[in-house]
Structure 1
Protein backbone atom coordinates (compact mmCIF):
# COMPACT_ATOMS: atom_id res chain seq x y z
CA UNK A 1 0.00 0.00 0.00
CA UNK A 2 1.40 3.40 -1.02
CA UNK A 3 1.03 6.88 0.38
CA UNK A 4 -2.62 7.85 0.95
CA UNK A 5 -4.04 11.34 0.47
CA UNK A 6 -7.27 12.05 2.35
CA UNK A 7 -7.80 15.48 0.82
CA UNK A 8 -7.79 16.74 -2.75
CA UNK A 9 -6.08 19.84 -1.35
CA UNK A 10 -3.05 17.87 -0.14
CA UNK A 11 0.06 19.70 -1.36
CA UNK A 12 1.97 16.49 -2.13
CA UNK A 13 -0.95 15.16 -4.19
CA UNK A 14 -1.25 18.44 -6.10
CA UNK A 15 2.47 18.49 -6.91
CA UNK A 16 1.81 15.67 -9.39
CA UNK A 17 -0.23 18.15 -11.47
CA UNK A 18 2.57 20.71 -11.64
CA UNK A 19 5.58 18.41 -11.83
CA UNK A 20 4.55 15.96 -14.57
CA UNK A 21 6.81 16.32 -17.59
CA UNK A 22 4.79 14.96 -20.53
CA UNK A 23 1.35 13.49 -19.81
CA UNK A 24 -1.31 13.40 -17.14
CA UNK A 25 -4.20 11.02 -17.77
CA UNK A 26 -7.40 10.41 -15.81
CA UNK A 27 -9.89 7.57 -16.15
CA UNK A 28 -13.29 8.56 -14.74
CA UNK A 29 -15.81 5.85 -14.01
CA UNK A 30 -18.47 7.37 -11.78
CA UNK A 31 -21.77 8.79 -12.94
CA UNK A 32 -21.80 11.22 -10.01
CA UNK A 33 -19.05 12.85 -8.00
CA UNK A 34 -20.11 14.50 -4.76
CA UNK A 35 -17.49 17.13 -4.09
CA UNK A 36 -18.18 20.09 -1.86
CA UNK A 37 -16.67 22.73 -4.15
CA UNK A 38 -19.27 21.91 -6.85
CA UNK A 39 -22.41 21.82 -4.71
CA UNK A 40 -23.62 25.40 -5.26
CA UNK A 41 -23.00 25.25 -9.00
CA UNK A 42 -24.60 21.82 -9.34
CA UNK A 43 -27.71 23.17 -7.58
CA UNK A 44 -27.79 26.12 -10.01
CA UNK A 45 -27.52 23.71 -12.92
CA UNK A 46 -30.36 21.57 -11.56
CA UNK A 47 -32.53 24.67 -11.18
CA UNK A 48 -32.16 25.40 -14.90
CA UNK A 49 -29.51 28.12 -14.85
CA UNK A 50 -27.62 28.72 -18.08
CA UNK A 51 -24.21 27.17 -18.66
CA UNK A 52 -21.70 28.70 -16.35
CA UNK A 53 -18.19 28.34 -15.09
CA UNK A 54 -17.45 28.05 -11.41
CA UNK A 55 -14.41 28.85 -9.27
CA UNK A 56 -13.21 25.24 -9.03
CA UNK A 57 -13.12 24.89 -12.82
CA UNK A 58 -11.57 28.33 -13.30
CA UNK A 59 -8.83 27.36 -10.83
CA UNK A 60 -8.29 24.02 -12.65
CA UNK A 61 -8.03 25.82 -16.00
CA UNK A 62 -5.74 28.61 -14.81
CA UNK A 63 -3.61 26.52 -12.46
CA UNK A 64 -3.32 23.23 -14.36
CA UNK A 65 -4.80 23.06 -17.87
CA UNK A 66 -3.36 26.20 -19.45
CA UNK A 67 0.11 25.89 -17.88
CA UNK A 68 0.29 22.28 -19.10
CA UNK A 69 -0.85 23.23 -22.61
CA UNK A 70 1.53 26.19 -22.74
CA UNK A 71 4.42 23.89 -21.76
CA UNK A 72 3.57 21.37 -24.49
CA UNK A 73 2.24 18.78 -22.03
CA UNK A 74 -0.80 16.59 -22.65
CA UNK A 75 -3.52 16.64 -20.01
CA UNK A 76 -6.26 14.22 -20.95
CA UNK A 77 -9.05 12.12 -19.55
CA UNK A 78 -11.61 9.55 -20.59
CA UNK A 79 -14.95 9.36 -18.81
CA UNK A 80 -17.11 6.27 -19.21
CA UNK A 81 -20.68 7.62 -19.17
CA UNK A 82 -23.89 5.65 -18.99
CA UNK A 83 -26.82 6.60 -21.19
CA UNK A 84 -29.21 8.08 -20.42
CA UNK A 85 -26.86 10.59 -18.86
CA UNK A 86 -27.13 11.31 -15.15
CA UNK A 87 -27.81 14.89 -14.07
CA UNK A 88 -24.28 15.07 -12.76
CA UNK A 89 -22.71 13.99 -16.08
CA UNK A 90 -24.82 16.57 -17.91
CA UNK A 91 -23.58 19.17 -15.41
CA UNK A 92 -19.98 18.06 -15.81
CA UNK A 93 -20.25 18.31 -19.58
CA UNK A 94 -21.88 21.74 -19.58
CA UNK A 95 -20.11 23.44 -16.69
CA UNK A 96 -16.71 21.74 -16.69
CA UNK A 97 -15.71 20.02 -19.93
CA UNK A 98 -17.21 22.78 -22.10
CA UNK A 99 -14.67 25.13 -20.48
CA UNK A 100 -11.65 22.88 -19.99
CA UNK A 101 -11.57 21.55 -23.56
CA UNK A 102 -11.15 25.00 -25.21
CA UNK A 103 -8.46 25.74 -22.60
CA UNK A 104 -6.46 22.71 -23.73
CA UNK A 105 -7.63 19.61 -21.87
CA UNK A 106 -8.30 16.62 -24.12
CA UNK A 107 -11.57 15.22 -22.76
CA UNK A 108 -12.98 12.07 -24.32
CA UNK A 109 -16.01 9.96 -23.45
CA UNK A 110 -17.11 6.37 -23.85
CA UNK A 111 -20.92 6.28 -23.86
CA UNK A 112 -22.43 2.94 -22.83
CA UNK A 113 -26.01 1.83 -22.15
CA UNK A 114 -27.00 1.98 -18.49
CA UNK A 115 -25.74 -1.04 -16.59
CA UNK A 116 -23.13 -1.95 -19.22
CA UNK A 117 -19.39 -1.35 -19.12
CA UNK A 118 -16.60 -1.41 -21.69
CA UNK A 119 -15.01 -4.84 -21.59
CA UNK A 120 -11.57 -4.84 -20.04
CA UNK A 121 -11.73 -1.42 -18.39
CA UNK A 122 -11.74 -1.08 -14.60
CA UNK A 123 -14.66 0.42 -12.70
CA UNK A 124 -12.52 2.78 -10.69
CA UNK A 125 -10.77 6.08 -11.24
CA UNK A 126 -7.07 6.73 -11.48
CA UNK A 127 -4.50 9.30 -12.52
CA UNK A 128 -1.43 8.25 -14.51
CA UNK A 129 1.41 10.77 -14.76
CA UNK A 130 4.12 10.37 -17.41
CA UNK A 131 3.07 6.74 -17.83
CA UNK A 132 5.00 5.91 -14.65
CA UNK A 133 3.28 7.41 -11.58
CA UNK A 134 -0.09 5.86 -10.74
CA UNK A 135 -2.59 7.23 -8.25
CA UNK A 136 -5.83 5.36 -7.69
CA UNK A 137 -8.81 7.43 -6.62
CA UNK A 138 -11.19 6.00 -4.02
CA UNK A 139 -14.78 7.19 -3.67
CA UNK A 140 -17.66 6.20 -1.45
CA UNK A 141 -20.81 4.79 -3.02
CA UNK A 142 -22.43 8.25 -3.06
CA UNK A 143 -19.54 9.67 -5.11
CA UNK A 144 -17.81 11.51 -2.29
CA UNK A 145 -14.02 11.43 -2.25
CA UNK A 146 -12.46 9.07 0.24
CA UNK A 147 -8.75 8.91 -0.60
CA UNK A 148 -6.12 8.83 -3.31
CA UNK A 149 -3.33 6.27 -3.17
CA UNK A 150 0.07 6.20 -4.84
CA UNK A 151 0.60 2.78 -6.37
CA UNK A 152 4.21 1.81 -6.94
CA UNK A 153 3.73 -1.78 -8.10
CA UNK A 154 5.26 -1.96 -11.62
CA UNK A 155 2.69 -4.48 -12.86
CA UNK A 156 -0.19 -2.20 -11.80
CA UNK A 157 1.44 0.75 -13.57
CA UNK A 158 1.83 -1.25 -16.80
CA UNK A 159 -1.82 -2.35 -16.50
CA UNK A 160 -2.95 1.28 -16.05
CA UNK A 161 -1.07 2.22 -19.24
CA UNK A 162 -2.82 -0.59 -21.11
CA UNK A 163 -6.22 0.58 -19.80
CA UNK A 164 -5.41 4.17 -20.80
CA UNK A 165 -4.60 3.12 -24.36
CA UNK A 166 -7.70 0.93 -24.52
CA UNK A 167 -9.97 3.69 -23.18
CA UNK A 168 -8.58 6.32 -25.54
CA UNK A 169 -9.04 4.02 -28.53
CA UNK A 170 -12.70 3.36 -27.62
CA UNK A 171 -13.57 6.97 -26.82
CA UNK A 172 -14.89 9.94 -28.76
CA UNK A 173 -13.77 13.55 -28.32
CA UNK A 174 -15.94 15.70 -26.08
CA UNK A 175 -16.80 18.01 -29.00
CA UNK A 176 -18.32 15.09 -30.96
CA UNK A 177 -20.17 13.92 -27.85
CA UNK A 178 -21.46 17.46 -27.22
CA UNK A 179 -22.85 17.65 -30.77
CA UNK A 180 -24.78 14.42 -30.20
CA UNK A 181 -26.41 15.89 -27.09
CA UNK A 182 -26.84 19.45 -28.34
CA UNK A 183 -29.30 21.24 -26.11
CA UNK A 184 -29.59 18.83 -23.18
CA UNK A 185 -26.58 20.04 -21.22
Structure 2
Protein backbone atom coordinates (compact mmCIF):
# COMPACT_ATOMS: atom_id res chain seq x y z
CA UNK A 1 0.00 0.00 0.00
CA UNK A 2 2.96 2.22 -0.48
CA UNK A 3 1.75 4.38 -3.34
CA UNK A 4 0.01 7.72 -3.55
CA UNK A 5 -3.38 6.32 -4.66
CA UNK A 6 -3.56 3.89 -1.74
CA UNK A 7 -2.48 6.51 0.81
CA UNK A 8 -5.08 8.95 -0.54
CA UNK A 9 -7.87 6.36 -0.47
CA UNK A 10 -6.95 5.28 3.07
CA UNK A 11 -7.03 8.90 4.23
CA UNK A 12 -10.36 9.60 2.52
CA UNK A 13 -12.10 6.49 3.83
CA UNK A 14 -10.62 7.00 7.31
CA UNK A 15 -12.19 10.48 7.22
CA UNK A 16 -15.58 8.84 6.65
CA UNK A 17 -15.88 9.36 2.90
CA UNK A 18 -17.40 6.58 0.82
CA UNK A 19 -15.35 5.44 -2.15
CA UNK A 20 -16.35 2.57 -4.35
CA UNK A 21 -16.90 1.24 -7.81
CA UNK A 22 -18.77 -1.41 -9.72
CA UNK A 23 -16.87 -3.05 -12.55
CA UNK A 24 -18.76 -4.73 -15.38
CA UNK A 25 -17.26 -8.13 -16.20
CA UNK A 26 -17.65 -10.39 -19.22
CA UNK A 27 -18.41 -14.12 -18.89
CA UNK A 28 -15.81 -15.48 -19.14
CA UNK A 29 -13.74 -12.57 -17.83
CA UNK A 30 -11.02 -11.18 -20.06
CA UNK A 31 -7.40 -11.32 -18.97
CA UNK A 32 -7.57 -7.62 -18.11
CA UNK A 33 -10.73 -8.10 -16.06
CA UNK A 34 -9.10 -10.96 -14.13
CA UNK A 35 -6.13 -8.68 -13.42
CA UNK A 36 -8.45 -5.95 -12.11
CA UNK A 37 -10.35 -8.48 -9.99
CA UNK A 38 -7.09 -9.60 -8.40
CA UNK A 39 -6.02 -5.97 -7.93
CA UNK A 40 -9.31 -5.27 -6.11
CA UNK A 41 -7.81 -6.87 -2.98
CA UNK A 42 -5.42 -3.95 -2.69
CA UNK A 43 -8.12 -1.35 -3.32
CA UNK A 44 -10.49 -2.95 -0.79
CA UNK A 45 -7.73 -2.89 1.82
CA UNK A 46 -7.71 0.92 1.51
CA UNK A 47 -11.41 1.05 2.39
CA UNK A 48 -12.83 1.17 -1.13
CA UNK A 49 -16.04 -0.80 -1.74
CA UNK A 50 -14.93 -2.92 -4.70
CA UNK A 51 -17.85 -4.62 -6.47
CA UNK A 52 -18.51 -6.47 -9.73
CA UNK A 53 -21.48 -7.13 -11.96
CA UNK A 54 -21.75 -9.56 -14.87
CA UNK A 55 -22.17 -7.74 -18.20
CA UNK A 56 -25.32 -9.77 -18.97
CA UNK A 57 -26.88 -8.53 -15.72
CA UNK A 58 -25.91 -4.93 -16.50
CA UNK A 59 -27.54 -5.25 -19.92
CA UNK A 60 -30.66 -6.88 -18.44
CA UNK A 61 -30.92 -3.93 -16.03
CA UNK A 62 -30.48 -1.46 -18.93
CA UNK A 63 -27.53 0.20 -17.21
CA UNK A 64 -25.65 2.77 -19.27
CA UNK A 65 -22.67 1.36 -21.16
CA UNK A 66 -20.57 4.45 -20.42
CA UNK A 67 -17.73 4.48 -17.93
CA UNK A 68 -18.05 7.30 -15.43
CA UNK A 69 -17.11 8.53 -11.99
CA UNK A 70 -19.58 10.29 -9.69
CA UNK A 71 -18.17 12.92 -7.33
CA UNK A 72 -20.12 13.98 -4.25
CA UNK A 73 -23.39 13.34 -6.12
CA UNK A 74 -22.87 16.72 -7.78
CA UNK A 75 -20.99 16.02 -10.98
CA UNK A 76 -20.13 13.21 -13.35
CA UNK A 77 -16.80 12.61 -15.05
CA UNK A 78 -17.85 10.72 -18.18
CA UNK A 79 -14.88 8.89 -19.73
CA UNK A 80 -14.66 8.66 -23.52
CA UNK A 81 -12.54 5.86 -25.07
CA UNK A 82 -11.68 4.85 -28.62
CA UNK A 83 -12.03 1.34 -30.07
CA UNK A 84 -8.59 0.39 -28.66
CA UNK A 85 -9.79 1.37 -25.16
CA UNK A 86 -7.55 4.43 -25.06
CA UNK A 87 -8.94 7.31 -23.01
CA UNK A 88 -9.67 10.21 -25.37
CA UNK A 89 -11.15 12.78 -22.99
CA UNK A 90 -13.27 13.32 -19.90
CA UNK A 91 -16.58 15.16 -20.11
CA UNK A 92 -17.78 16.87 -16.93
CA UNK A 93 -21.54 16.79 -16.44
CA UNK A 94 -23.13 19.06 -13.84
CA UNK A 95 -26.73 19.29 -15.09
CA UNK A 96 -28.77 17.99 -12.12
CA UNK A 97 -31.14 15.73 -14.09
CA UNK A 98 -28.22 14.03 -15.85
CA UNK A 99 -26.32 13.63 -12.58
CA UNK A 100 -29.42 12.00 -11.06
CA UNK A 101 -29.72 9.64 -14.03
CA UNK A 102 -26.18 8.37 -13.43
CA UNK A 103 -26.77 8.22 -9.67
CA UNK A 104 -29.83 6.02 -10.25
CA UNK A 105 -27.78 3.75 -12.50
CA UNK A 106 -25.07 3.59 -9.82
CA UNK A 107 -27.63 2.65 -7.19
CA UNK A 108 -29.03 -0.14 -9.39
CA UNK A 109 -25.52 -1.41 -10.15
CA UNK A 110 -24.63 -1.42 -6.45
CA UNK A 111 -27.84 -3.23 -5.53
CA UNK A 112 -27.26 -6.05 -8.02
CA UNK A 113 -23.47 -6.35 -7.77
CA UNK A 114 -21.26 -8.66 -5.75
CA UNK A 115 -18.45 -7.72 -3.37
CA UNK A 116 -15.15 -8.60 -5.02
CA UNK A 117 -14.48 -11.54 -2.65
CA UNK A 118 -17.84 -13.11 -3.49
CA UNK A 119 -17.39 -12.39 -7.20
CA UNK A 120 -13.90 -13.91 -7.17
CA UNK A 121 -15.44 -17.12 -5.81
CA UNK A 122 -18.11 -17.07 -8.54
CA UNK A 123 -15.46 -16.65 -11.23
CA UNK A 124 -13.36 -19.48 -9.77
CA UNK A 125 -16.42 -21.77 -9.70
CA UNK A 126 -17.19 -21.09 -13.37
CA UNK A 127 -13.59 -21.85 -14.38
CA UNK A 128 -13.55 -25.31 -12.79
TM-score by length of 2: 0.87
What's the offset of the Cα at 1:76?
0.6
Q: Distance in 2 between matches of 1:118 and 1:91?
A: 25
- Structure 1 unaligned blocks of 5 or more: 1-52
Work out the CA distance in 2 between the residues paired with 1:181 and 1:157.
Answer: 32
Q: Cα RMSD between the aligned structures?
A: 2.1
Match of 1:99 in 2: 42
Partner of 1:60: 5
TM superposition shift of 1:99: 0.6
Which of 46, 67, 82 pairs up with 1:125?
Answer: 67
Aligned length: 125
Higher relative contact order (CA 8 A, sep 6+): 1
TM-score, normalised on structure 1?
A: 0.62
Q: What pairs with 1:36-185 in structure 2 (closer than 5 Å)?
A: 58-63=3-8, 65-94=9-38, 96-113=39-56, 117-182=59-124
Specify which structure has the higher proportion of helix: 2
Displacement after TM superposition at 1:148 (Å): 0.8
